[in-house]
Amino acid sequence: MSKLLNKWYKNHSLVYKILLFAVTTSFIVYLFPKTGKFRYSFEKGKPWQSENLYAPFDFAIKKNQDEIDAETKALKDNTPIYFNIDPTVEEKVISDYVERFKLVFGDSLSSLSRTKFFNIGQDLIEELYETGVVDSKYNYSPNRTVNIIESNTIKKEVEFGLLFEKSELKSKLNSAYEAIEDGQSKNRLIALFFDIIESNLTLNSELSESALKEAVDNISLTRGSIEKETLIVSKGQVVEQEQYNILNSLKSEYESQVWNSQNYNLVVLSYTLLVALALLMLLLFLQKYRREVFENNTKVTFIFFNIALIILLTTIVINYNSQYIYVVPLCVLPLVLKAFFDARLGLFAHVLTVLLLGFIVPNSNEYIFLQIIAGIVTILTVSELYKRANLFISVGQITFIYIIAYFAFFVIHEGQINNLKWETFGLFILCGLATLFVQPLIYIYEKLFGLVSDVSLLELSDTNTKLLKELSNKAPGTFHHSLNVANLAEASANEIGANAMLVRVGALYHDIGKMKNPTYFTENQSTGINPHEELSSRESAKIIIDHVINGIEIAKRNNLPDRVIDFIRTHHGTSAVYYFYRTEKAKNDDVDIKDFSYPGPKPFSKETAILMMCDSVEAASKSLKEPTSSKLNDFVENIVNKQLETGQFLNANITFKEIQSIKKVLKLKLANIYHLRIEYPE
């Protein structure tokens, strides 16, 4: 049992990666739709590229949205509306008419005229209330059917145009009394009607809306059907509107059909295999090309977390409304990974993420092309993320590429730009604005995962930081040495394309361990007294070597990032303190050089290798007397070649060509420091 536990403990890092791999795969598969995916892609107006397609089963042809909208509009225009009738209104109006007519006219008219006027008015009232008088003006079609309801029963059906509106009363009265020549009597009659006419019909909005809703709900979503084995489209045939509708119906039916448990399990298994394959490619990439990242579980977790987060956000947006799919700032992923690692890893992870999203997004081919192009532009344009202007400019370029690519796809699909969806351009602009959130996101990630970005490196490079101020006060010579090394290292990194900001910060902090015993290092000995004269060679060597350990302890107490602490660990590699070693060896031949060597590790990156070369050259250059160009050349060659011979750069991914370029930079910089000119032959 103990052997098994020991074996598990030794391989705990690998076990963790396996668990992380399994959990991330399961989470992503959980987000994916659990139905089959239609394997054919097609576009309206384009030739069918696959083989002849026959219906695999019976299915109904679904109406497109335009057809459904047209039917809905027709129902809204033609569905009967309901009005409630008040039967007492007509009786009241007639009664009021009789009384008011007597009061208005009395005996002022002849019996014949009074009878004539009265009968005309009575006939008009009967005509008005035969169909009904509505209470207000409505914008219904004159041909719209109206159901008149009395006591919850439909009394009659009429056309809306036959109903009378009170606003039409004057014209109606003028027409009815057109034959009356007595203008005064005519006006009195019209005024009388304006006083007594009341509406007897009120709209029953609840019943009308309910009837319309029922009619809309009963709209058939299909028209016709296709039988199994029916030829749908032939190879090379242009997909016209009808075939396009049929293909969409088949796709929808295929992806929405009820799956039995066996089919469901097969779909889930297939998704799992594909997702696992994509994530496995990422792990293999890390193992082969980014070994230091692969061996750091925190960094691997960080990468997997960001991929899963992007897929989660995209899934949420699709479930809410797939039209907003382009609002998701997918380019944040390569930006974040480039900020913490490098461009190649950022692009690789971005491409894999986009390929995975292709399973769940609509128009997957278009989406994949757009996002991969945007990711490439992100990697190519965003440099020096710590400069705010660069981020704004790059986001503008990314948004512009989105718009150009989408415009091209739209023209390819539609063949014209009349129906161009301008609101989609607004979504791209929102996506660009959301991408700007990468700055605070990087800060959050630094705190959560303990990583360091160029933004933090810029802050650490400020010589007014508390730690560097302390170094300049306690060990001014070391501080000056660190500044010189930083300048040499930055120039060397720029020459070979390494991370100049990282190596500069590493150079500024690489010797902070000397603050513990500053006078034991020659650059800080201003009084001419050498404390090593009172110590043995072993004691002196231990103090010199311990500045690495002390530096690591000081860096951790001050919460310096691990990427910076790596420079403290490796800037001497496993080299020996030769002066004290030779002094001890002169006294005693039985001396182990390991007792006078730094504990390491050796530099394991271009940046740490650059610092080792620059640190050694800058420190040793102080001992040069009457330097000349030839002396400086030999001096740099000897120091760097000795480091090569002792295998200090075996673990660093640096080439001989790059080392030669660094030598050239160091020679040029030292010549500038000592104000040397080219030596001409006499």
pLDDT digits (tens, 9 = 90+) for 357-394: 988 887 788 888 888 998 898 888 866 665 666 777 88
Q: Is the distance from CB of 200 to CB of 132 less than 8 angstroms?
A: yes
Section 577-589 average pLDDT: 81
Section 532-543 average pLDDT: 86
Section 621-625 average pLDDT: 78
Q: Is the distance from CB of 51 to CB of 237 less than 8 angstroms?
A: no
Residue whose token pair is 């080392």:
659
Predicted local confidence at residue 70, as pLDDT: 86
Is pLDDT at 255 greater than 70 in this prediction? Answer: no
Chain centre to alpha carbon of residue 239 = 34
Contacts 24+ apart (CB under 8 A), 311-315: 311/28, 311/31, 311/353, 311/356, 311/357, 312/31, 314/357, 314/360, 314/361, 315/31, 315/360
Two tokens at 433?
A: 């604005």
Q: What is the mean pLDDT of the chain?
A: 83
For 263, residues 6+ apart whose C-beta sits below 8 A from its C-beta are 36
Predicted local confidence at residue 568, as pLDDT: 95
Predicted local confidence at residue 680, as pLDDT: 45
Confidence of residue 34 (pLDDT cuts 50, 70, 90): low
Section 552-567 average pLDDT: 91
Higher-scoring residue by pLDDT: 253, 658: 658
Amino acid at 481: H
Higher-scoring residue by pLDDT: 505, 342: 505
Residue 33: left if φ>0, alpha if ψ -120 to 50, beta else—which one? Answer: beta
Is pLDDT at 186 greater than 50 in this prediction? Answer: yes
Predicted local confidence at residue 101, as pLDDT: 79
Predicted local confidence at residue 4, as pLDDT: 54
Q: Is the distance from CB of 299 to CB of 293 less than 8 angstroms?
A: yes
**pLDDT tens by residue, 422-473:** 788 888 888 888 888 888 888 888 888 878 887 788 888 888 889 999 999 9
The predicted model scores a pTM of 0.62
Amino acid at 613: M
Between the two ends of the chain, the Cα-to-Cα distance in Å is 81
Bridge partners (DSSP) of residue 146 are 81, 158
Of the candidates 73, 74, 117, 76, which has an alpha carbon nearest to the alpha carbon of residue 98? 117
Higher-scoring residue by pLDDT: 489, 257: 489
Is pLDDT at 614 greater than 50 in this prediction? Answer: yes
Is pLDDT at 38 greater than 70 in this prediction? Answer: no
Task: Check whether the bond before 33 is cis (ω within 30° of 0).
Answer: no
Q: H or E segment at 481?
A: helix 476-496
Query: Would you identify the CATH topology of the domain 456-673?
Result: Hypothetical protein af1432 (1.10.3210)
Predicted local confidence at residue 258, as pLDDT: 47
Section 275-287 average pLDDT: 94
Instruction: Average the pLDDT over each of 141-150, 376-385, 494-503 and give the range with the smallest value.
Output: 376-385
Say how far apart CA 6 and CA 9 lie, in whole Å: 5
Predicted local confidence at residue 176, as pLDDT: 67
Is pLDDT at 239 greater than 80 in this prediction? Answer: no
Confidence of residue 278 (pLDDT cuts 50, 70, 90): very high
Residue whose token pair is 């057109």:
178
The domain locations on the chain are 2-33+262-449, 73-215, 456-673
Percent of the chain topping pLDDT 90: 28
Percent of the chain topping pLDDT 70: 90
3-state SS, residue 208: helix
Of the candidates 417, 411, 421, which has an alpha carbon nearest to the alpha carbon of residue 46? 411
Q: Is the distance from CB of 675 to CB of 622 less than 8 angstroms?
A: no
Instruction: Average the pLDDT over each of 276-280, 415-419, 482-486 and give the range with the smallest value.
Output: 415-419
Section 502-513 average pLDDT: 94
